[in-house]
C-alpha cells in the first residue's frame, strides 16, 4: 500500500500536465486563496464593526458557533444542487464556511481590547476611526490572524471534499482513486493535502508572530516584565 | 415529506450511526486526554510539545486522515474504525490543551490544603483537581462534540458517514429532500449534544450556580 503510494508520487509522469500533481496543488491553492480573500472581505469589516461598536455581539458569537455545527458536505451538495455544477457554487460554499471563524475572532479580538486603553486613546484626542486603526486592530491582530488561520484550514479541508461535487484540486486524487479502488492514488491526495494544510498553518503561525506589534509581544524588549501572550485561548474559551 | 415517510427507517438508521460515530470518539478523547493532560502538568516540559503536536494534528483535513490511517495502522480502507480513530485524534488534540489549562487553573493553596488534610494523589485528582478544571475542559468538549458531529458526514465520501450518506444519496439522485433532512438533523443533533453538555456541566459544578449564575 505504502509502496504503491511511493511509486505513484515518485513517478515524474504523475507530476506534469493538467492532471499532474503540480497543477492540482496550484488549483487547490487558487481555490483556497480566492475563497479566503472573499470571506475576509466580507467578514473582516463586519467583525470590526461589531467589535468596535459592541453592538450585535450576539450575531458574531452565534454564527461562529452555529457554523461549526454545519456539515460541510451537506452544505456543498445543497448549494451545488441549487445552483448547478461548477466552480462558482463550490467557491460560494467555501466562502460561507470561511466567514464565521474570521468574523467571530475579529469581533472577539476587537471587543476584548481593554476599555481603559480605548479611553486613554480617546483622551489623547483620537477619533473613532483612529482608535480602530491605531489601537483596536493592532491589539486584536493575533486573534484576527488566528481567525484567518482557522478559516484557511476549514477551506483547504473542504476544498478536498469538494472534489466529490466535481471540483479540481488535490481532492480529485481522493475521489478518482476511490472510484477506481486505486488506494495509492487516494493516499497521494490525502498526504499532499495534509502537508499543504500543515504548511499553510505554519505560515499563519509565523505571520502571527511577526505581524503583531513588538510593543505588545515584548519581542524586542530586553526586560520582559509585562508579557502579553499572543497564543490564542484554548478551544471554547474566549 | 413523502420521501421522509417512505424512508424513515433509513433516516433512523443513519441518525443512530451518526450519533455513535460522533460520541464514541468524544468519550475516548476525554478518557485519553485527561490522564495525558495530568501527566503533562506533572512533567511540565511535556505540555508545550503535546499542545503543539495537537495543533498540527488538528490542522489535518478529516478526509485526508480517514484515508491515511489505514496505511499507517493497517485498518481496512472502508472501515468505521478509521472514522472513529480519526475523530478521536481530533478530540485528543483539541482537548489536551483545555485539560492542561484547566488543571493548571487549580489554585496552589487549594492543592496544599487538600494534601494537608490527608488526601492521597488519586483522591485529590478525582475530587479536587478535575472538578475545578471542569469548566475549561467542558468548553473544549463542547467544541469537540459539535465539530465531530459535523465532521462525521465527510466520512460518507468513503461510505461510512451517518447522516452524511443522505447527502451523497441526494447528490447522486439530484434530489434535495434527503440533503435538507440530513443538514437539519445534523444541526439538531449538534444543538442537542451541546445543550446536554451544558446541563452535565451544571450538574458537575453545583457551586458555579451559587456564585456566578451567569457563567454556568
Residue B153 in domain: yes
User: pLDDT tens-digit profile of A20-34?
Assistant: 899 999 999 999 999
CA distances from A78 to A71, A73, A101 (A): 11, 8, 21
Closest residue in B to A238 (Cα–Cα):
B139
Residue A238 in domain: no
Residue A233 in domain: no
Instruction: Supply the CATH number for residue B109's domain.
Output: 1.10.3720.10
Which pLDDT band, with edges at 50, 70 and 90, does A45 fall under?
A: very high
Question: Which residue has 488534540 as its cell numbers?
Answer: B93
Q: What is the pLDDT of residue A117?
A: 92
- Does the beta carbon of B180 lie under 8 angstroms from any beta carbon of chain A? yes
Residue B7 in domain: yes
Stretch B201-213: mean pLDDT: 79
Helical ranges in chain B per DSSP H: 2-6, 8-42, 47-58, 62-73, 80-104, 108-116, 121-124, 130-152, 164-173, 176-204, 206-211
Which pLDDT band, with edges at 50, 70 and 90, does A237 fall under?
A: low
Q: What is the rounded distance in angstroms from the CA atom of residue A107 to the CA atom of residue A13?
A: 48
Q: What is the pLDDT of residue A226?
A: 47
Partner residue facing B157 (CB), from A5, A69, A161:
A161
Which pLDDT band, with edges at 50, 70 and 90, does B211 fall under?
A: low
Stretch B124-138: mean pLDDT: 92
Is the pLDDT at A230 greater than 60? The verdict is no
Q: How many separate domains does chain A show? A: 1
What is this model's ipTM? 0.85
Residue B46 in domain: yes
Q: What is the pLDDT of residue A103?
A: 93
Is the pLDDT at A207 greater than 70? The verdict is yes
CB contact under 8 A, B64 and A191: yes
Which pLDDT band, with edges at 50, 70 and 90, does B216 fall under?
A: very low
Distance between alpha carbon A220 and the CA centroid of its chain, in Å?
28
Lowest-confidence pick of A64-73, B46-55, B205-214: B205-214
Q: How far is B152 from chain A (nearest CA, A)?
A: 8
- For B90-110, b where at least 16 C-beta lie within 10 A, e where not — what string? bbbbbbbbbbbbbbeebeeee
CB contact under 8 A, A197 and B60: yes
Mutate to test the interface with B, among A82, A234, A238 (most CBs of B within 10 A): A234
User: pLDDT tens-digit profile of B162-188?
Assistant: 999 999 999 999 999 999 999 999 999
Q: Which domain holds residue A135?
A: 2-11+22-217
Q: How many separate domains does chain B show? A: 1
Residue A190 in domain: yes
Which pLDDT band, with edges at 50, 70 and 90, does B215 fall under?
A: very low
Residue B144 in domain: yes
Percentage of chain A exceeding pLDDT 70 = 90
Yes or no: say if A158 and A167 are a contact pair by the CB < 8 Å rule.
no
Helical ranges in chain A per DSSP H: 2-10, 21-53, 57-69, 72-83, 87-111, 115-123, 128-130, 137-161, 171-179, 183-211, 214-217
CB contact under 8 A, A174 and B147: no
Lowest-confidence pick of A53-57, A152-156, B42-46, B108-112: A53-57
Q: Which domain holds residue B16?
A: 2-211
Mutate to test the interface with A, among B41, B67, B197 (most CBs of A within 10 A): B67
Residue B77: other Cβ atoms inside 10 A: 18
Q: What is the rounded distance in angstroms from the CA atom of residue A84 to the CA atom of residue A92?
A: 12
Q: What is the pLDDT of residue A220?
A: 64
Report chain B's C-alpha Rg in angstroms. Answer: 20
The average confidence (pLDDT) of chain B is 90
Residue B94 in domain: yes
Residue B216 in domain: no
Is the pLDDT at A118 greater than 60? The verdict is yes
Residue B79 in domain: yes
DSSP 8-state assignment for residue A232: P
CB contact under 8 A, A157 and B61: yes
Residue A56, C-beta contacts closer than 8 angstroms, at least 6 positions apart: A50
Q: What is the pLDDT of residue A233?
A: 63
Instruction: Supply the CATH number for residue A173's domain.
Output: 1.10.3720.10
Stretch A162-166: mean pLDDT: 87
Partner residue facing B67 (CB), from A82, A153, A190:
A190
CA distances from A91 to A152, A176, A204 (A): 13, 21, 22
CB pairs < 8 Å spanning A and B? 162
The average confidence (pLDDT) of chain A is 86
User: pLDDT tens-digit profile of A80-109?
Assistant: 999 988 889 999 999 999 999 999 999 999
Residue B38 in domain: yes
Is the pLDDT at A228 greater than 60? The verdict is no
Amino acid at each position: 500500500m505504502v509502496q504503491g503510494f511511493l511509486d505513484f508520487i515518485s513517478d515524474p509522469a504523475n507530476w506534469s500536465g493538467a492532471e499532474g500533481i503540480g497543477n492540482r496543488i496550484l488549483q487547490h491553492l487558487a481555490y483556497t486563496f480566492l475563497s479566503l480573500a472573499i470571506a475576509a472581505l466580507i467578514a473582516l469589516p463586519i467583525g470590526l464593526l461589531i467589535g468596535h461598536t459592541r453592538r450585535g455581539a450576539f450575531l458574531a458569537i452565534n454564527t461562529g458557533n452555529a457554523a461549526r455545527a454545519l456539515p460541510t458536505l451537506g452544505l456543498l451538495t445543497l448549494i451545488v444542487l441549487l445552483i448547478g455544477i461548477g466552480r462558482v457554487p463550490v467557491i460560494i460554499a467555501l466562502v460561507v464556511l470561511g466567514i464565521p471563524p474570521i468574523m467571530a475572532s475579529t469581533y472577539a479580538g476587537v471587543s476584548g481590547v481593554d476599555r481603559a486603553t480605548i479611553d486613554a486613546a480617546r483622551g489623547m484626542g483620537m477619533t473613532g476611526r483612529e482608535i480602530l486603526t491605531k489601537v483596536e486592530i493592532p491589539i486584536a491582530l493575533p486573534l484576527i490572524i488566528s481567525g484567518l488561520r482557522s478559516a484557511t484550514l476549514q477551506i483547504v479541508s473542504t476544498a478536498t471534499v469538494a472534489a466529490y461535487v466535481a471540483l479540481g484540486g488535490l481532492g480529485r486524487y481522493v475521489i478518482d482513486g476511490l472510484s477506481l479502488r486505486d488506494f495509492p492514488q487516494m493516499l497521494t491526495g490525502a498526504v499532499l493535502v495534509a502537508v499543504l494544510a500543515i504548511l499553510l498553518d505554519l505560515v499563519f503561525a509565523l505571520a502571527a508572530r511577526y505581524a503583531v506589534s513588538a510593543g505588545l509581544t515584548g519581542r524586542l524588549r530586553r526586560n520582559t516584565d509585562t508579557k502579553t501572550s499572543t497564543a490564542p485561548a484554548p478551544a471554547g474559551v474566549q | 415529506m413523502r420521501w421522509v415517510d417512505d424512508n424513515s427507517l433509513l433516516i433512523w438508521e443513519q441518525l443512530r450511526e451518526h450519533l455513535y460515530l460522533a460520541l464514541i470518539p468524544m468519550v475516548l478523547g476525554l478518557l485519553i486526554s485527561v490522564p495525558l493532560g495530568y501527566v503533562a502538568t506533572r512533567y511540565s516540559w511535556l505540555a508545550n510539545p503535546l499542545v503543539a503536536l495537537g495543533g498540527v494534528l488538528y490542522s489535518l483535513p478529516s478526509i485526508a486522515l480517514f484515508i491515511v490511517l489505514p496505511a499507517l495502522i493497517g485498518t481496512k480502507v472502508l472501515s468505521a474504525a478509521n472514522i472513529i480513530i480519526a475523530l478521536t485524534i481530533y478530540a485528543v488534540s483539541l482537548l489536551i490543551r483545555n485539560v492542561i489549562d484547566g488543571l493548571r487553573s487549580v489554585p496552589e493553596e487549594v492543592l496544599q490544603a487538600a494534601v494537608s488534610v490527608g488526601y492521597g494523589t488519586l483522591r485529590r485528582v478525582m475530587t479536587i483537581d478535575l472538578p475545578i478544571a471542569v469548566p475549561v475542559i467542558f468548553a473544549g468538549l463542547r467544541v469537540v462534540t459539535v465539530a465531530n458531529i459535523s465532521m462525521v458526514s465527510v466520512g460518507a465520501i468513503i461510505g461510512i458517514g451517518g447522516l452524511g450518506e443522505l447527502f451523497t444519496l441526494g447528490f447522486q439522485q439530484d434530489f434535495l429532500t434527503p440533503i435538507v433532512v440530513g443538514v437539519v438533523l445534523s444541526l439538531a443533533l449538534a444543538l442537542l449534544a451541546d445543550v446536554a453538555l451544558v446541563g452535565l456541566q451544571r450538574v458537575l459544578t453545583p457551586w458555579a450556580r451559587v456564585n456566578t449564575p451567569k457563567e454556568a
